Amino acid sequence: MARELGWYASFSVAFGFVSIATGIFTTYGSVLATSGPRGIWAWPISVIGQLSIALVFGALAARIPIGGYSYQWVSRIVGPVWGWIMGWISFAFLGVVVVAVDYTIASTILPELFQYAGTTQNAWVITAGVVLLQALLVAASTRTTHRVNNAAVTAQLIGMIALTVLLFAVGFFTGKLDFAHLFETGPVPEHGYYGLGGGTHAGPFALAFLLGAFTIVGFESAANLAEETKDPARVIPKAMVQAVLSLGVLGFLFLLAITAAAGRIGSAAQSATPVATVITAVLGSVVGKILLVLVVISIFSCGLVITLSGTRLVYAMSRDERFPGWRLLKRIHPRTATPLNATVFMMAIAQIILAVFSRSADALFQLFSAATLLPAVIYAGTVAMYTVKRRSLPPSRGFSLGRWEVPVLILATVWLVYELLIFRDASFRGPWVYVLVLCGIGAVYLAVFIARRGRAALTMPDMADIDRVLDGTAESAEAGAEGTAR
């Protein structure tokens, strides 16, 4: 795989995965139900917390610019067994988050756009089709995938900025903005609103942090494509940080606009798709539908990047001969120059997860909860590893935290501990079951793998030899492709 991605492509991958359109459209209704309109004020705090994590990941990407991000970093710095565990958890996350993202199109946007009644059955069929289309694009061409994503990210930027400006402007001139609504708790009692909760439940305001925690994840996908990026040690950290900052600011402005407008639209609180309902009510059906189409494009782009990232992770682990079916999954197709088998595998996993979750009446909540829990675990493990091993890391190749390293690590640690404690709430029982089942499957495979091949089979290349290893891998792939052609 050639290094052909520049800064905008790297930024687009990070921005496209995070996708504020996807996250807000998916979780806003849940935030209104559990935290009320006031819950949107948890967003700025979430942005700061996730930014601290992005800075840590940037420091790692500048030292170890290789595909597979946390799997590769933990394998080389802590040990291959821990790295494998991190890789498997990352695989479980990417498998469920692509379904959560694509399910948003089928369950919240299309019913409003085309005015039909959404059901679990039609949401399942539509989501399955979207997952398949994304896999076909990723399998066909990496270059085409990035072109589609770049165009979609540009459309998302333009669309979300236009949507936010129009909501403020039209809402102001028509008297549909109610800024007092930003501070109301809605159906949630005022008493105990900021409380921490009990042993099996989190407080109302604490639950509001899931809006930012679910939305602002995936920025590290830029690091997962390090082997295809020009000057990755400089480009990737910059792209990740800029993506989180721009998304944080734009997302908060959009939340302010949509929440202020919802205060004067009585049907918004009862709507299954409150964001779409408010947009249509304020901007009219024609403009509203045009902007909803842009949102669909943005969400599709998000799922496309997730599919690409998941495929690259499976390929990276298979290349190291430690993923189930690695002999097939490590192959690069000679014509498309993409890991075709790994792409088909990720698509199949997504379809299975979709079939499991889609029969639930609250499938979207279960999906986004699982897709929030897993990255929090991944981030916590990676930050902990960096904290312990930071003095033994190879030198930076383009980005360093410098004197801010310790404050950033403290902030990231406090934020992640608080975020993980939210998931003690009983409403997250389904996501925990998913996590435990997937981890159980992974544990069985790892035990069999070690029993058959020994721990020596998990040995990773030395950190100082990464470029040499990658050059050798590239030469082997080219030789294999030439041999196939002959």
pLDDT one-digit tens code per residue, 412-457 = 999 999 999 999 888 888 888 888 888 899 999 988 888 888 777 7
How many H helices and E strands in the chain?
Answer: 19, 0
- pLDDT of res. 317: 87
Contact assessment for residue 347 and residue 386, using Cβ atoms and an 8 Å cutoff: no
Residue 231 phi, psi (nearest 5): 45, 55
CA distance linking residue 45 with residue 41, whole number of Å: 8
Tell whether the model's pLDDT for residue 21 goes beyond 90.
no
Tell whether the model's pLDDT for residue 137 goes beyond 70.
yes
Domain ranges of the chain: 10-472
Contact assessment for residue 215 and residue 24, using Cβ atoms and an 8 Å cutoff: yes
- pLDDT of res. 461: 55
Cα distances (Å, whole numbers) of residue 345 to 215, 336, 339, 479: 25, 17, 10, 25
Instruction: Identify the top-confidence range among 122-131, 136-145, 262-271, 463-472.
Output: 122-131
Neighbour-count burial for 392-425, b at 16+ CB within 10 Å, e otherwise: ebeebbbbebeeebeebbebbbebbeebeebbeb
CA R_g for the chain: 22
Tell whether the model's pLDDT for residue 254 goes beyond 90.
yes
The tokens of 112 are what?
């409003």
Look at 485 and 46; give whichever has higher pLDDT. Answer: 46
Category of 466 on φ-ψ map: left (φ > 0), alpha (ψ -120 to 50) or beta:
alpha
Q: Which amino acid is at 182?
A: L
- pLDDT of res. 111: 85
CA distance linking residue 52 with residue 46, whole number of Å: 10
DSSP conformational letter for 332: P
Of 252, 190, 193, residue with least CA distance to 44: 252
Tell whether the model's pLDDT for residue 485 goes beyond 70.
no
Mean pLDDT, the chain, whole residue set: 84
* Side-chain half-sphere exposure of 454, counting CA atoms within 13 A: 1
pLDDT digits (tens, 9 = 90+) for 356-366: 887 776 777 78
Contact assessment for residue 305 and residue 14, using Cβ atoms and an 8 Å cutoff: no
Of 385, 307, 394, residue with least CA distance to 347: 307
* Residues ≥6 apart with Cβ < 8 Å to 8: 150
* pLDDT tier for residue 3 given thresholds of 50, 70 and 90: low
Percent of the chain with pLDDT over 70: 92
Neighbour-count burial for 126-140, b at 16+ CB within 10 Å, e otherwise: bbbebbebbbebbbb
Around Cβ 327, how many Cβ atoms within 10 Å? 10
CA distance linking residue 439 with residue 85, whole number of Å: 8
CA distance linking residue 227 with residue 44, whole number of Å: 33
- pLDDT of res. 170: 92
Element (H, E) at 432: helix 429-453
* Residues ≥6 apart with Cβ < 8 Å to 324: 445
- pLDDT of res. 383: 93
Contact assessment for residue 243 and residue 15, using Cβ atoms and an 8 Å cutoff: yes
CA distance linking residue 293 with residue 109, whole number of Å: 9
Contact assessment for residue 367 and residue 96, using Cβ atoms and an 8 Å cutoff: yes
Contact assessment for residue 329 and residue 315, using Cβ atoms and an 8 Å cutoff: yes
pLDDT digits (tens, 9 = 90+) for 178-214: 999 999 998 888 888 998 788 888 889 999 998 888 8
Residue 31 phi, psi (nearest 5): -65, -40
CA distance linking residue 237 with residue 463, whole number of Å: 19
DSSP conformational letter for 5: B
pLDDT digits (tens, 9 = 90+) for 69-119: 678 888 888 888 888 888 899 898 888 888 888 888 888 788 878 888 778
Calculate mean pLDDT across residues 139-152.
80
Neighbour-count burial for 292-315, b at 16+ CB within 10 Å, e otherwise: bebbbbbbbbbbbbbbbbbbbbbb
CA distance linking residue 219 with residue 398, whole number of Å: 18
Pick the CATH number of 10-472 from 3.40.718.10, 1.20.1740.10, 2.70.98.40, 3.30.420.40: 1.20.1740.10
- pLDDT of res. 144: 81
